[in-house]
């Protein structure tokens, strides 16, 4: 029996070094938000997939909607991945 391949959604991830968007795949079942009126609405971190409430998230510097708005990321990914990468590229 063949194992089913996981469905993936393709987003856009900003590369600060090249200053261009690159394709970025996440599992299709992740609930990614860029906006919500409900601070308790559950969503997934756009980088690690951790489930948390919208009101506990940070706006991503890297993973964006087609209109350029940042998806939500957890505090750990924001401060351990996004901020250091952004600061390194800005010198």
Q: In whole angstroms, give the CA distance from residue 35 to residue 60.
A: 12
- Give the contacts of 84 (CB within 8 A, at least 6 positions apart): none
**Pick from 28, 29, 23, 31: nearest CA to 8:** 28
The pTM score is: 0.84
Q: In whole angstroms, give the CA distance from residue 6 to residue 27.
A: 7
Structure tokens that stand for 33 in this block: 């938000």
Model pLDDT for residues 14-72, shown as the tens digit of each residue: 988 899 999 999 999 999 999 999 999 999 999 999 999 999 999 998 999 999 999 99
CB 10 within 8 A of CB 25: yes
């Amino acid at each position: 029996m063949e194992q089913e391949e996981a469905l993936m959604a393709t987003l856009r991830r900003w590369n600060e070094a090249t200053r261009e968007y690159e394709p970025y795949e996440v599992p299709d079942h992740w609930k990614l938000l860029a906006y919500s009126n409900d601070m308790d609405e559950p969503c997934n971190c756009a980088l690690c997939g951790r489930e948390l409430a919208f009101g506990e998230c940070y706006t991503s510097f890297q993973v964006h909607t087609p209109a350029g708005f940042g998806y939500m990321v957890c505090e750990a990914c924001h401060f351990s991945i996004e901020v250091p990468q952004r600061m390194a590229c800005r010198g």
